Amino acid sequence: MRKQTTLPTRYKPWILIAVIFATALSCSTRSDQANNPFPGYTWPLPELRFTSFFGETRGNHFHNGIDLSSHLESVYPVAPGTILFAWDKKRYPFANTPGMGNWTAILHGNQQISVYLHLDRIITNDQPRIGTEQPLGKSGNSGRSSGSHLHFSLYDPQKNSYLNPLEKLPQVRDDTKPQIRHLILERDGHKPVLIREKFSFHHQGSVILHASIQDHVSRNELHRNLGIYFLEIHINGEKKSSYRFDTIEIHPEGPQVNGKKFGDIFANKRYYYLTKAILPSGTHKITVIAEDLHKNRSEKEFLLTLNQ
């Protein structure tokens, strides 16, 4: 039987994750990979009800996985692997529950780690290896969670990056385009302005533009507002910025997406940051392009007329 390590009553969950990820590569050898070719990923739940996508804002940080609505359903490993760690409140009754709740991490033959958070309980046996037919736990609402769901993440220790799970898991049907709803214009000395199509104003100096954009997996779930995969902005036909939510790289100064920190993408914590620019007098065409991971593309133009 494997010896369980008791955690101190107070600890930082991210420190524990860092230790696990830093030592993960020593748990599997190249010969293991040769003898057990990586079969690819499968979904951890039989039914898929998305409530959050990779890279969304969480107020002060990026969402590093996907959320699937689920209550007391069996959760399965997305591929065979080695259980690196499993935390369950029932095993550590005197320890404070971390924000991740009951969770487990599994190292796979491709040297990537899958992480499963907010479980109701952990189901493991005495063997470190686990296959895709054996449930690892039941979905739940443990830890810092606003409703019963599974948070699923993929981590690459070699690149020190979280990966977008939707790029690695089997493709799902997605028949809807992202919705580019409106712009938010900010300028010194004035309240933010919501712009649906066009806006005329007097101003000298720089302006900041944000965009309200939402995605949906199907027309039957338009009440679920999800994040996008790709965003690009043009001003008067000239590309100003773009970024793609494919990875979240971990850096000493903080996580980054395509070299951009959280505040560079979600400046006001709710909307997507587009650009800060000094616009001369006249009418300017702002073009916003948004895509989901399945290449469903939306493009919308806004007209700003500046009178100085």
Q: Give me the CATH number covering residue 291.
A: 2.60.40.10
% of the chain surpassing 90 pLDDT? 65
Q: Kindly state whether residue 4 falls inside one of the protein's structural domains.
A: no
**CA dist list (Å): 13 to 117, 250, 304:** 12, 16, 46
Domain boundary among 136, 168, 200: 168
Residue-wise pLDDT tens digits, 67-112: 999 999 999 999 999 999 899 988 888 887 778 999 999 999 999 9
212 plus 272 within the same structural domain = yes
Domain boundary among 141, 168, 195: 168
pLDDT reported for residue 97: 74
Q: Which range, of 208-222, 233-247, 281-295, averages the lowest pLDDT? A: 208-222
pLDDT reported for residue 96: 76
Average pLDDT over residues 282-291: 96
Instruction: Give the whole-angstrom CA distance, residue 258 versus residue 238.
Output: 20
pLDDT reported for residue 224: 66
Location of structure tokens 């100003």 = 240
Average pLDDT over residues 193-207: 91
Residue-wise pLDDT tens digits, 163-174: 999 999 999 888
Q: Kindly state whether residue 87 falls inside one of the protein's structural domains.
A: yes
Average pLDDT over residues 46-73: 93
208 plus 76 within the same structural domain = no
- The structural domain count of the chain equals 2
Q: Kindly state whether residue 5 falls inside one of the protein's structural domains.
A: no
Does residue 249 surpass a pLDDT of 50? yes
Instruction: Give the whole-angstrom CA distance, residue 272 versus residue 288.
Output: 11
Domain assignment of residue 45, given as a range: 13-168
Q: Kindly state whether residue 1 falls inside one of the protein's structural domains.
A: no
Tokens coding 163:
């990966």
**Higher per-residue confidence, 52 vs 124:** 52
% of the chain surpassing 70 pLDDT? 84
pTM score, whole prediction = 0.86
Confidence of residue 151 (pLDDT cuts 50, 70, 90): very high
Domain boundary among 168, 187, 220: 168
143 plus 196 within the same structural domain = no
134 plus 248 within the same structural domain = no
Average pLDDT over residues 19-25: 54
pLDDT reported for residue 15: 44
pLDDT reported for residue 127: 74
46 plus 164 within the same structural domain = yes
Query: Residue 4, exposed/middle/buried by CB under 10 A (0-12, 13-18, 19+)?
Result: exposed
Query: Residue 280, exposed/middle/buried by CB under 10 A (0-12, 13-18, 19+)?
Result: exposed
pLDDT reported for residue 124: 72
Does residue 6 surpass a pLDDT of 60? no
Does residue 8 surpass a pLDDT of 70? no
Does residue 4 surpass a pLDDT of 90? no
Q: Kindly state whether residue 40 falls inside one of the protein's structural domains.
A: yes
Q: 22-25 long-range contacts, Cβ below 8 Å, gap at least 24?
A: 22/157, 24/84, 24/107, 24/111, 24/113, 24/157, 25/111, 25/157, 25/158
Does residue 16 surpass a pLDDT of 80? no
192 plus 132 within the same structural domain = no
Nearest 10 degrees: Cα torsion 67, 70, 74, 80: -10
Q: Kindly state whether residue 7 falls inside one of the protein's structural domains.
A: no
Instruction: Give the whole-angstrom CA distance, residue 39 versus residue 272.
Output: 37
Distance of CA 34 to the CA centre of its chain: 31
**Higher per-residue confidence, 14 vs 261:** 261
Q: State the CATH number of the domain containing residue 58.
A: 2.70.70.10
Average pLDDT, the chain: 85
Strands 282-291 and 230-235, bridge-based pairing: antiparallel
Say if CB 139 and CB 52 are below 8 A apart: no
113 plus 187 within the same structural domain = no
Instruction: Give the whole-angstrom CA distance, residue 149 versus residue 139.
Output: 6
Location of structure tokens 């995605």 = 215
pLDDT reported for residue 308: 73
Confidence of residue 21 (pLDDT cuts 50, 70, 90): low
Does residue 19 surpass a pLDDT of 80? no
